[in-house]
């Protein structure tokens, strides 16, 4: 069970961090900095769980692993950030003078709530001891997911930095086997965290809602579906790439 007080503290901390980020977004007129803060929200929740935990043997490794994932993601997004994302710019134009308050609720606070739900396995593990072998196995899966995501992002960054790749499709490396290997790696990270904690008895099985939610978001909301709405028109070879390459789970490409 999750202690209600800890859940409220985690949610409150997530909302507070995102509110501060929102205030900064008003100054720089860039709502997309919410994406940079997404990872750090998880790290904050994880370390708050450490402070409340009676079993550092579980919560401390979790916090370290989550922090590594969060730091890498935040740095990756920050380094490629070049002004407000067109999606947020379009929202700003549609909402006009109401955009600041609307973005607080619909962008920043929404991300805080979603992050808290995804982090439920971490929050629920507070004060619970776990069996070491399942924990190690789950953490190994999570670490593999983190590495997979990092390698995919490095390959994409290099491709985008090469002038020869302008207008082309990245279909080498991990991108030969999945159209979105970075999103797949992120999903694996959270499934590994949950599997290790749940299998060891350190977190309730029902917290599976966390990895289910993040996977759904990556496939249906903010990830695969959103990106592929316009990419085909921008990259002529993408339609053929879609036909031969898995959207999410890596597999051998079709001939």
pLDDT of residue 127: 61
Instruction: Using only the alpha carbons of the chain, give its radius of gyration.
Output: 19
In order along the chain (255 residues), what is the average pLDDT of each group of 10 residues?
A: 84 98 97 97 95 82 96 96 90 94 97 97 77 91 98 95 85 96 97 94 93 95 78 79 94 90
pLDDT of residue 1: 60
pLDDT of residue 191: 98
CA distance 70 to 222: 17
CA distance 114 to 75: 21
pLDDT of residue 236: 78
Distances in Å between the alpha carbon of 170 and those of 81, 82, 219?
20, 21, 19
pLDDT of residue 233: 67
3-state SS, residue 121: helix
Q: Give the global pTM.
A: 0.92
Phi, psi of 2 (to 5 degrees): -95, 130
Contact in structure between 8 and 64 (CB atoms under 8 Å): no
């Amino acid at each position: 069970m999750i202690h209600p007080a800890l859940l409220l503290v985690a949610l409150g901390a997530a909302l507070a961090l995102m509110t501060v980020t929102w205030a900064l977004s008003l100054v720089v007129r860039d709502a997309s900095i919410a994406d940079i803060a997404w990872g750090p929200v998880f790290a904050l929740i994880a370390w708050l769980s450490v402070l409340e935990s009676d079993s550092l043997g579980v919560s401390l490794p979790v916090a370290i692993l989550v922090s590594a994932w969060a730091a890498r993601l935040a740095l990756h997004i920050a380094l490629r950030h070049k002004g407000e994302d067109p999606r947020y710019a379009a929202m700003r134009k549609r909402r006009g003078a109401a955009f600041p308050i609307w973005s607080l609720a619909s962008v920043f606070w929404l991300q805080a709530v979603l992050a808290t739900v995804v982090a439920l396995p971490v929050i629920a593990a507070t004060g619970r001891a776990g069996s070491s072998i399942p924990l190690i196995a789950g953490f190994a899966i999570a670490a593999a997911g983190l590495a997979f995501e990092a390698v995919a992002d490095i390959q994409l960054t290099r491709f985008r930095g090469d002038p020869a790749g302008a207008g082309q499709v990245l279909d080498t490396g991990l991108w030969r086997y999945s159209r979105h290997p970075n999103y797949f790696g992120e999903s694996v990270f959270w499934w590994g965290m949950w599997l290790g904690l749940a299998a060891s008895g350190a977190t309730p099985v029902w917290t599976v809602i966390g990895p289910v939610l993040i996977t759904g978001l990556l496939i249906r909301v903010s990830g695969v579906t959103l990106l592929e709405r316009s990419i085909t028109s921008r990259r002529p070879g993408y339609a053929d790439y879609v036909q031969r390459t898995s959207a999410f789970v890596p597999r051998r490409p079709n001939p």
